[in-house]
Amino acid sequence: MAISYSMRMVCVALVALGLIQIAAELVLWAASKLIFRLLAPLAARSRERCLYLVQLTPFLLATALTSLVCVPGYVHNETNLAAEAVGWPCLLLAIAVLAWFGATAFRGMRIVVRTVSFANACKTAGASTLPIPSQTPIVSLPDASHRVALVGLFQPRIFISKDLLADGGLSPLALDLVFEHEQSHAAQRDNCKLLSLICLPRLTLPLAGGTWLQQWQSAAEWAADDDAVRGDSNRALLLAQTLVAFARSFASPPSAMVSTAFVCGNKGLEVRVNRLLELDRATPRDPVQENSRLSAALALTAVLIAGAAATAALTPWLHDLSEHLLHLG
């Protein structure tokens, strides 16, 4: 099939973007055990940030190489500006990549719309804002379908069921812990991070301990727990007790919405509670532990830089590969 020069350039961009993305995802999957081993000694917040950046790396690398190397290289070396025959395999691959990226973006848009609709519905339902000093507005809801969660993107709100505020609900200290946990999510913009990870085109490859997204969510919850506990063993014990109490009366939050619920189900809850109990018995960190965390962070950075450098070293062959793909079949 003969297509114009501009459409050939679009095909090259889509095919290059998709292939580099898949290759980077496979490299990341192959190195996952090493990455988790390097991240293990890090503090929860550092681990959360590293897991977030690691997941962004394939897409950012694919976008950078495609826009800065592949497309400019094709434009510079292509001499035929007229229509030219292109193989069907290349066209089908370009359409598949476009559908993959488009479906992911559409899913993200739907989630944003549902989140905004939920927030507006809460306002019209007459939910009241609690007069509690906080950088994040705290709103009470009459039903228990979303017991405690941070909902929203750039101006998120903490929603909490009224039954948790009434007599027989949470104690003032437990409420303080719950609110500080959710305020930590707000301060770190975890909802925005969550949406960006949901909107990332990715391969669903098996990993020990859950997907990359689930690994990041666990690390974000641990980091928010640490921020709420603030190194106090009594607060750690109370937070663990509160998590268990929530799990026993857990109500699933609305699906397909940008939110970080205080308890997201029983999966991983045992590990999270045991970790808080370990914090309750923890001793102060020593310089050796801090040095190991720094070494792990530097090693992970070196791994990512080495991967990017190895990919960049292959760029001289990308134009020839583009030409072969265009005329495949």
Q: In this predicted model, what pLDDT tens digit does every residue of 100-127 receive, in sequence order?
A: 999 999 988 988 888 888 777 776 665 6
Three-class secondary structure of residue 175 per DSSP: helix
In this predicted structure, what is the pLDDT of residue 164?
Answer: 80
- Region of poorest pLDDT, from 47-61, 75-89, 306-320: 306-320
* Percent of the chain with pLDDT strictly greater than 70: 76
In this predicted structure, what is the pLDDT of residue 52?
Answer: 92
Q: Is the CB of residue 233 less than 8 Å from the CB of residue 276?
A: no
Q: How far are the Cα atoms of 76, 214, 224 from residue 27, in angstroms, in the given order?
A: 29, 19, 30
Beta bridge partners of 140: 128, 160
In this predicted structure, what is the pLDDT of residue 98?
Answer: 92
134 Rama class: left (phi>0) / alpha (psi -120 to 50) / beta:
beta
In this predicted structure, what is the pLDDT of residue 249?
Answer: 63
Digit-coded pLDDT (tens) for 225-276:
899 888 888 888 888 888 887 776 655 555 577 778 777 655 677 788 888 8
Angle CA 241–220–295, to nearest 5? 115
- The percent of the chain in helix, strand and coil, each rounded to the nearest 5, is 65, 5, 25
- Region of poorest pLDDT, from 154-163, 185-194, 270-279, 284-293: 284-293
321 residue type, one letter: L
Q: Is the CB of residue 161 less than 8 Å from the CB of residue 143?
A: yes
Q: How far are the Cα atoms of 74, 139, 264, 313, 329 from residue 197, in angstroms, in the given order?
A: 30, 27, 17, 28, 35
Q: Distance between CA atoms of 209 and 291, rounded to whole angstroms? A: 26
Going by their DSSP bridges, the two strands 138-141 and 157-161 should be labelled as parallel
Q: Distance between CA atoms of 253 and 296, rounded to whole angstroms? A: 36
Digit-coded pLDDT (tens) for 276-295:
888 655 544 444 444 545 55
Q: Is the CB of residue 197 less than 8 Å from the CB of residue 53?
A: no
Q: Is the CB of residue 261 less than 8 Å from the CB of residue 146?
A: yes
In this predicted structure, what is the pLDDT of residue 99?
Answer: 93
| pLDDT interval class at 35 (50, 70, 90) | confident
More confident residue, 147 or 327: 147
In this predicted structure, what is the pLDDT of residue 290?
Answer: 46
| pLDDT interval class at 193 (50, 70, 90) | very high
Q: Is the CB of residue 30 less than 8 Å from the CB of residue 303?
A: no
Average pLDDT over the chain, rounded to an integer: 78
More confident residue, 152 or 84: 152
